[in-house]
């Protein structure tokens, strides 16, 4: 067993704290940089074009325009840009886990991450489902989910857009929250999903996946 003397152990602990603080500071600054980038029409247009080019590798899973072709992979098109950036940064720092997303995002520098977010958030969502709206799902959404995700499920800076999202992805995500089997444990979602039955989750997915 390796034994560390107290000064060395303290130095290592301090180094980890400094690295963690640097990562937090970078995450804290990024939303403000993105807001500045999107506030000007010219810089926004340049960022969207740069993001289109930088995101070519994302199209394999999320679709070239952010509308996923895979039911288990979420749409990124039309997502709130600040929310999307925060999730990208969490993958970058390892705070959020995924065997594919973490290594892919860690290849990107900050400018590329900002531009990709600008691009996908500017794209139009194509609803994942085209069937009739589910009345039970609509009632459930407006009773349980609307407070955080908004009247039209468009989300915001803290909560994701759900309108038009992939049906399978919604079902899987809600089930993981309810069963506490996923890696994300947001208190609001744990409380909201705790009493949902499988039929409720399916009804919510049926409703949300048809929205524009």
At 20 the pLDDT is 45
Q: Name the residue ranges covered by the structural domains of the chain.
A: 23-122, 135-208
The DSSP H or E segment spanning 29 is helix 6-39
- 135-208 and 23-122 share a CATH fold: yes
CATH 2.30.30.40 fits 135-208, yes or no: no
Give pLDDT < 70 ranges for the chain. Answer: 1-28
Torsion sign over Cα 19, 22, 28, 34: negative
Q: What share of the chain is helix, strand, coil (3-state, %, to 5)?
A: 60, 0, 40
Half-sphere exposure of 152 (CA within 13 A, CB side): 5
**Tell me: the pLDDT tens digits for 101-146?**
999 999 999 999 999 999 999 999 999 998 888 999 999 999 999 9
Rounded to the nearest 10 degrees, what angle do helices 110-122 and 81-93 cross at? Answer: 140
Q: What is the architecture of the domain spanning 23-122?
A: Orthogonal Bundle (1.10)
């Amino acid at each position: 067993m390796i034994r560390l003397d107290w000064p060395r152990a303290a130095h290592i602990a301090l180094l980890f704290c400094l690295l963690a603080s640097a990562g937090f500071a970078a995450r804290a600054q990024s939303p403000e940089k993105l807001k500045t980038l999107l506030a000007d029409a010219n810089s926004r247009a340049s960022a969207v074009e740069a993001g289109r080019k930088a995101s070519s590798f994302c199209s394999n899973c999320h679709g070239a325009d952010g509308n996923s072709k895979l039911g288990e992979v979420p749409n990124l098109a039309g997502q709130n840009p600040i929310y999307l950036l925060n999730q990208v940064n969490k993958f970058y720092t390892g705070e959020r886990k995924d065997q594919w997303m973490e290594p892919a995002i860690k290849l990107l520098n900050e400018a590329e991450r900002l531009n990709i977010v600008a691009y996908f958030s500017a794209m139009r969502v194509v609803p994942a489902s085209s069937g009739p709206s589910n009345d039970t799902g609509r009632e459930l959404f407006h009773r349980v989910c609307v407070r955080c995700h908004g009247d039209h499920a468009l989300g915001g800076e803290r909560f994701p857009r759900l309108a038009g999202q992939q049906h399978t992805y919604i079902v899987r995500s809600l089930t993981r929250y309810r069963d506490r089997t996923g890696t994300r444990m947001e208190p609001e979602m744990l409380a909201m999903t705790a009493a949902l039955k499988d039929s409720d989750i399916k009804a919510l997915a049926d409703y949300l996946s048809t929205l524009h």
